[in-house]
């Protein structure tokens, strides 16, 4: 997991590929978003706004085809995470949801707050610990190195 402290830090670090620039474009759309509605830009990005109480996840979640980014707008959330090989697989990978679930002990925890972005790469699984009131943007970015030339 990569922890970034601002959108500016995100833009500085991830400015080379079109899919990362699309993340910045999605973040710019934030004032127009309604909670729970999924949006996409091109073939490489799906995003949505989460606003409200968020329950603790019962297990760790990992992805294979997408990098998941959480951009925290208000509130805070504790996240437990660990390398996938250190965890026990609970369910097989689903190509339909790009999810696999795990159980085990977290190797690290981080409490994310307003302004931070957490980038969950494919080598780790994460487990949100819940929040009484949270407002965050969740972005799912394809791991492929390039997008289709016509998008």
- Predicted confidence at residue 103, as pLDDT, reads 97
CB 85 within 8 A of CB 122: no
The answer to whether residue 150 scores a pLDDT higher than 50 is no
Task: With cut-offs at 50, 70 and 90, classify the pLDDT of residue 145.
Answer: low
d(CA 41, CA 141): 10
How many CB atoms are located within 10 Å of the residue 79 CB? 20
pLDDT digits 0-9 by tens, 14-42: 877 788 888 989 999 999 999 989 999 88
The answer to whether residue 146 scores a pLDDT higher than 50 is no
The answer to whether residue 138 scores a pLDDT higher than 80 is yes
CB 110 within 8 A of CB 120: no
pLDDT digits 0-9 by tens, 47-100: 999 999 999 999 999 999 999 999 999 999 999 999 999 999 999 999 999 999
Does the domain spanning 2-142 belong to CATH 3.40.50.2000?
no
Q: What is the pTM (predicted TM-score) of this model?
A: 0.89
- Predicted confidence at residue 147, as pLDDT, reads 43
Of the listed ranges 75-79, 117-121, 145-149, the least confidently predicted one is 145-149
- Predicted confidence at residue 4, as pLDDT, reads 94
State mean pLDDT over 108-121: 95
- Predicted confidence at residue 42, as pLDDT, reads 81
- Predicted confidence at residue 18, as pLDDT, reads 83
């Amino acid at each position: 997991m990569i922890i970034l402290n601002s959108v500016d830090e995100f833009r500085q670090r991830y400015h080379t590929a079109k899919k990362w620039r699309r993340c910045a474009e999605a973040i710019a759309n934030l004032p127009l978003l309604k909670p729970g509605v999924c949006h996409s830009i091109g073939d490489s990005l799906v995003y949505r706004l989460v606003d409200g109480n968020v329950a603790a996840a019962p297990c760790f979640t990992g992805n294979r085809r997408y990098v998941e980014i959480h951009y925290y707008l208000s509130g805070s959330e504790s996240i437990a995470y660990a390398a996938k090989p250190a965890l026990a697989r609970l369910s097989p990978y689903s190509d339909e949801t790009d999810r696999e679930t795990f159980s085990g002990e977290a190797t690290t925890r981080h409490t994310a707050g307003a302004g931070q972005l957490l980038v969950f790469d494919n080598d780790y699984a994460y487990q949100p610990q819940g929040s009484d009131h949270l407002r965050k943007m969740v972005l799912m970015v394809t791991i492929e190195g390039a997008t289709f030339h016509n998008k």
